[in-house]
Structure 1
Amino acid sequence: MGKRQVSYFAFSTSPVSGKPAAIPPSLIGISTLNALRDAEKVADAVKHAVSSVVKYVDCSSDSQNEKQIGNALSAFDRSSFYVGSKLSCCDAAPEDVTEACKRSITELGVSYLDNYMMHWPVQLKSDSKPVSLDDGDTYELVQDGDMDCIMATYEAMERLVDQGLVRSLGVSNMGIRTLSELLSRCRIRPTVLEVEMHLYLAQPKLLEFCREENIHVVANSPPGKMRNRHPNDPSLLDDPVLLRIAEEAVRAAQVLLRRGIQRGRSITRKTPSQSLMDENKDLLDWCLSRDHMSRLDALDKGSRFPSVLPSMCDLDRDSENYAGAGHPVSQPHRTPCTMDKNGGFRNRFERPGKYLKTDILVQRGALSDLARLGKSIIPEESHGSANYLITDSVVDALYGDTVLNGLKSAGLDMTKIVVPAVSMDESGEPSTEPNKNGAIFNACVDRVLGNGISKHSCIISLGGGVINNLCGVIAATLYRGIKLVHFTTTTMGMLDAAIDFKQAFNHSCGKNLVGAYYPADLIVMDPECLKTLSNRHMLNGVAEALKHGLTQSWELTSAIVEPLRGDSARLGDSKYLETLCKETIEIKVPTLTHYKESDFNEMVPQYGHAVAHAVEHLSWEEGQVPLLHGEAVAIGMCVTAELGHLLGLCDKSVVDHHYDLVGTTGLPCNVPDTMKVNDILHVMTYDKHFMSKPCMGFCKEIGVMAKNKDGSYAFSVEMEPVREALQLNMSK
């Protein structure tokens, strides 16, 4: 831990009034929200705080203590502190904004506010009591996240700057999506965002977004102690990792506060205790080590504490770590990648019970740098054994010798086996699917056993999902299980097929009937090798990534689609592809690790597939145009959105978004008009999730799954609305 000098204020000029504006607030602040209790005690705490290290006073008219705080602040020169207040949701009607602001200014005894913040993107009727001490919450919503209403309120706040009543504006409890739209429409940009942000809710994407937009982030309640906590809510201050770090010299709460400062944001503490504030005086004089920060960052669970109003709990639903109504609260929404010493992105999925664990490496140029990386990729116990690189004839011509020679140059014993592939199937694309069978499996096994292996040997697959699956079964069965590494070379492999424990090959009785649940030691993804794919095969896996975006994350959806609007060439950009892989993995990994905890983790990967499987199967019949799996999934998701709307699970905008987002990527949206609805309905009855009727998951909105009253994410659907949804899709 080392010393660090940090200044409290950075002054600039208001873009409208030209008057000095304190932007941003100081790094350490006191929150005066105290559940309407002890107004005088809060005022005493403010007086003590401003006379010591704390120069940022975070007020709110809802707390009903601004008059007492004003009395405390009157003892200080106005230029020595930064004071902000918040617009109550009960005063969010545009015509009430000016009067509400003037009321706070008068009670605080100042001539202006350094910052005036929209407390929530919500409007309540003026007689609501959302923080009532004795009577309980009584409130009536006027609007809940309506962007036009939010902007009408914000425009009224902008006029406060024009009048010189406030020097800067802020917003609170907004995520990236809402904040992005506000920035695109506002005249005076907000300089501050205050949100829940703590050890279990790190919100790295939101923090990075605000850095890029030059918006200062204020984290409220970094120790996680908020009002209206449920008895079962976790205690951040009791986290064992935190306590071990705190043992070195400081209290656990100080570690949490210091972490917030080192992440580049201000912190506010809700405490009337002068002794606790005195402990914080040296927060700017020491640092947590990089190792400490890394260990603390790994504790992010996407866990959000309850807010004042139940309806407000999912207002930040576009946050990358949102774990609200559309996601199981028992698991993280995202598992962030970490960067290794070679600049690659690392992740992992695992499962309790019979222990299953697979590491993931995303690194551009990895295939051409195996002389250096080879021994860090192949498991250490395999370094002295005979190892086998298995690929298909199409991929072999592109990368076979490069990978083989690279691994040999790293000092590894490596033999290559090439599986035949079809250079062009009925879809007009190369394929190994016809050779994903027992005969090829046996031929590979014979070759490996004939050449010799040990229990430490490793099977290395080089190819798409077919080769990855085939090699998975080989590794699972030889010597009852040897090491397995996948070099997956297609978007379908990188974004879907390879990222699983399921390994299988086809049988004459059906697809993927012979196999095992067996973990690869490592999956390597080099986005550079995707550039040799055809456009159709590139989009094939993009559909599966988009599936996770539509069901789990608006941010992932945007990261996939928005770069392609008007610029389809971005699909071949290696940086775009690296981001696509990394972002998809982060969202997908929790559904694998926590698979058995909720049917959410089954319905997400199956989204759109009930229809897709039927459409894909029929497309390969005579007289039809064959569809790749991802193309069928794209169509299936659009039909499923139509069905969700018919069932009342989403509004029409969700359907429209599906067609826009899918279509923008270049994927098909509509069932081919050469197919018959009755044929699709008939084939759907053979789907593995068909239990007398289809069992499907639906989007409540983009990035959020619909949920049954019983907590399940699976809906049994009658065939007649499925028919109607298909007809609606085919009529467009």
Structure 2
Amino acid sequence: MTSIINVNLPQQSYEIAIAPGSLEQLGQQMANLNLGKKVLVVSNPTIFKHYGERAINSLTSAGFKVVSYCLPAGERYKTLNSIQKLYDIALENRLERSSTMVALGGGVIGDMTGFAAATWLRGINVVQVPTTLLAMVDSAIGGKTGVNHPHGKNLIGAFHQPRKVLIDPEVLKTLPMREFRAGMAEVIKYGIIWDAELFAQLEASKNLNQLRYVKPEVIDAILTRSCQAKANVVSKDEKEGGLRAILNYGHTIGHAVESLTGYRLVNHGEAVAIGMVAAGQIAVALGLWQQEDTERQNALIQKAGLPTRLPEGIDIEEIIAALQLDKKVKAGKVRFILPTQIGVVKITDDVPSETIRQVLQGM
């Protein structure tokens, strides 16, 4: 069964296609887009070992001329040095403006490939083929691309929408448990910011921290409802002029935690989970949210096998200082996304530093 979700944008609309076994159809799907024949497949060694040959065979069978390149796995390699390597491959193989970069991997590969495509020859095609739950429900959709700066996450980037997002749920079979749980953080986020029904469905589901035991219909709901939520928000606000900022729920403090721990101690989803717990408590402290609701959120985060406390040894004052480097700072004020009920959040620039400090001290 194939689910098609449309991301409707003024300049370039595109489809998110969710279908088991669709990796074998990558070449035909791209041929239908009338793209140029030169393709660069970007992956990491682990993902390429599992799926690289299948992707390349599908592309060559559809008449594409394919080269591939693997970047090291891990957030700490999401740098301009890695992008330079992609530029070198693009130059060596004479990629043109009609050419396409295919991101075969998780969020790190998707972000870097998208950024390289956005900036090579001032913009060439990119197709996202996410292989992690986090990338499927979040980072592959919406056109945010970029790399990290030593002092902050995703400070260097560009908006560059994909021509298509192709999601094959079967590739999740090789996803490590920790990475599945990381993806669940973004799924829970959609429940809090947009889809109370999804949140309730997750509360009623069992074994959310064990991919192999999650029922297929639950995986289907996770993918389709999360992708639809992201598509709805992006269609209304492509470049984060207003509404799209709600997608950053949990990310403000989460990004600071990631950065201060060198992108090694906690992964993105774990950091977002910690950030959601903090944001929930800030909302309670400001009288925006009920304690009962934050307890429901935190219980679901724990049920998904995600952390709810800060890593040991992290300096709270360093977190508060790092918040000033966040991309969403406006006129020196840190923008927070705070829940008012499950399924509804508000954007606020008026959170006292002392409130943030007190909440973090309690974590």
Residue of structure 2 in register with 1:364 after alignment: 20
The TM-score with structure 1 as length reference comes to 0.46
Offset at 1:527? 1.3
Give the number of the structure with larger relative contact order, counting CA–CA contacts within 8 Å between residues 6 or more apart: 2
Residue of structure 1 in register with 2:345 after alignment: 705
Alignment partners' CA distance in 2, 1:641 and 1:655: 6
Partners of 1:364 and 1:578 within 8 A in 2? no
Residue of structure 2 in register with 1:612 after alignment: 254
Change (3 A) 1:412 1:650: same
Partners of 2:42 and 2:103 within 8 A in 1? yes
Alignment partners' CA distance in 2, 1:378 and 1:504: 27
Residue of structure 2 in register with 1:669 after alignment: 308
Q: Does 1:588 align with 2:222?
A: no
SS for the counterpart of 1:456 is coil
SS for the counterpart of 1:564 is coil
Offset at 1:508? 5.9
Alignment partners' CA distance in 2, 1:665 and 1:526: 22
Alignment partners' CA distance in 1, 2:97 and 2:245: 37
- Once the two structures are superposed, residues 649-703 of structure 1 have per-residue CA deviations (whole angstroms, 9 ceiling, x without a partner) of 1121112112111111111112234334333223223223344443212111111
What amino acid is the match of 1:581?
L
SS for the counterpart of 2:6 is strand
Alignment partners' CA distance in 1, 2:182 and 2:111: 17
Q: Does 1:577 align with 2:219?
A: yes
SS for the counterpart of 1:637 is helix
Alignment partners' CA distance in 2, 1:567 and 1:720: 34
Change (3 A) 1:725 1:443: closer
Alignment partners' CA distance in 1, 2:279 and 2:120: 42
Change (3 A) 1:465 1:393: same
Residue of structure 2 in register with 1:406 after alignment: 58
Q: Does 1:497 align with 2:136?
A: no
What amino acid is the match of 2:280?
A
Partners of 1:693 and 1:718 within 8 A in 2? no
Match for 2:9 among 340, 343, 351? 351
- Cα RMSD of the aligned pairs, angstroms, is 2.6
Offset at 1:725? 1.8
Partners of 1:389 and 1:414 within 8 A in 2? no
Alignment partners' CA distance in 2, 1:506 and 1:696: 21
What amino acid is the match of 1:504?
G
Offset at 1:566? 8.1
Alignment partners' CA distance in 2, 1:633 and 1:615: 9
Residue of structure 1 in register with 2:295 after alignment: 656
Q: Does 1:469 align with 2:111?
A: yes
SS for the counterpart of 1:374 is helix
Match for 1:417 among 65, 68, 77? 68
Alignment partners' CA distance in 2, 1:486 and 1:702: 30
Q: Does 1:521 align with 2:179?
A: no
Alignment partners' CA distance in 2, 1:359 and 1:566: 28
- Once the two structures are superposed, residues 17-61 of structure 1 have per-residue CA deviations (whole angstroms, 9 ceiling, x without a partner) of xxxxxxxxxxxxxxxxxxxxxxxxxxxxxxxxxxxxxxxxxxxxx
Change (3 A) 1:432 1:408: same
SS for the counterpart of 1:381 is coil
Residues 460-469 or 450-459, more deviating? 450-459
What amino acid is the match of 2:271?
A
Offset at 1:487? 0.8
Residue of structure 2 in register with 1:445 after alignment: 87
Residue of structure 2 in register with 1:66 after alignment: none
SS for the counterpart of 2:205 is helix
Q: Does 1:396 align with 2:48?
A: yes
Residue of structure 1 in register with 2:28 after alignment: 375
SS for the counterpart of 1:605 is helix
Alignment partners' CA distance in 2, 1:386 and 1:569: 36
Offset at 1:359? 1.8
SS for the counterpart of 1:401 is helix
Alignment partners' CA distance in 1, 2:85 and 2:308: 40
SS for the counterpart of 1:477 is helix
Match for 1:386 among 38, 42, 59? 38
SS for the counterpart of 2:265 is coil
SS for the counterpart of 1:467 is helix
Alignment partners' CA distance in 1, 2:208 and 2:160: 42
Change (3 A) 1:434 1:627: closer
Match for 1:722 among 337, 356, 360? 356
Q: Which runs of 4+ in 1 moved over 6 A?
A: 596-599
The TM-score with structure 2 as length reference comes to 0.89
Residue of structure 2 in register with 1:530 after alignment: 172
Offset at 1:497? 1.2
- Once the two structures are superposed, residues 81-107 of structure 1 have per-residue CA deviations (whole angstroms, 9 ceiling, x without a partner) of xxxxxxxxxxxxxxxxxxxxxxxxxxx
Partners of 1:387 and 1:459 within 8 A in 2? yes
Offset at 1:560? 3.3
Alignment partners' CA distance in 2, 1:508 and 1:620: 9
Offset at 1:507? 5.1
Change (3 A) 1:615 1:466: closer
Residue of structure 2 in register with 1:52 after alignment: none
Listed as ranges, the matches of 1:96-115 within 5 Å are none
Partners of 1:388 and 1:448 within 8 A in 2? yes
Structure having the larger proportion of residues in helix: 2
What amino acid is the match of 1:415?
V
Gaps of 5+ in 2: none
Alignment partners' CA distance in 2, 1:682 and 1:459: 37
Equivalenced residue count is 362
Alignment partners' CA distance in 2, 1:565 and 1:572: 6
Change (3 A) 1:538 1:653: same
Residue of structure 2 in register with 1:688 after alignment: 327
Partners of 1:693 and 1:719 within 8 A in 2? no
Change (3 A) 1:614 1:504: closer
Change (3 A) 1:608 1:514: closer
Partners of 2:288 and 2:340 within 8 A in 1? yes
Partners of 1:491 and 1:542 within 8 A in 2? yes
What amino acid is the match of 2:259?
H
Alignment partners' CA distance in 2, 1:694 and 1:583: 30
What amino acid is the match of 1:381?
N
What amino acid is the match of 2:46?
V
Partners of 1:559 and 1:580 within 8 A in 2? no
Alignment partners' CA distance in 2, 1:350 and 1:664: 34
Offset at 1:517? 1.8
Change (3 A) 1:415 1:549: same
Offset at 1:445? 2.8
Alignment partners' CA distance in 2, 1:360 and 1:615: 31
Change (3 A) 1:551 1:599: farther
Listed as ranges, the matches of 1:196-235 within 5 Å are none
- Once the two structures are superposed, residues 149-173 of structure 1 have per-residue CA deviations (whole angstroms, 9 ceiling, x without a partner) of xxxxxxxxxxxxxxxxxxxxxxxxx
Match for 1:549 among 191, 198, 206? 191
Percent same amino acid at aligned positions? 28
Q: Who wins on radius of gyration, i.e. which is larger?
A: 1
SS for the counterpart of 2:145 is strand
- Once the two structures are superposed, residues 320-358 of structure 1 have per-residue CA deviations (whole angstroms, 9 ceiling, x without a partner) of xxxxxxxxxxxxxxxxxxxxxxx3111122433xx1423
Alignment partners' CA distance in 2, 1:479 and 1:596: 22
Partners of 1:564 and 1:570 within 8 A in 2? no
SS for the counterpart of 2:247 is coil
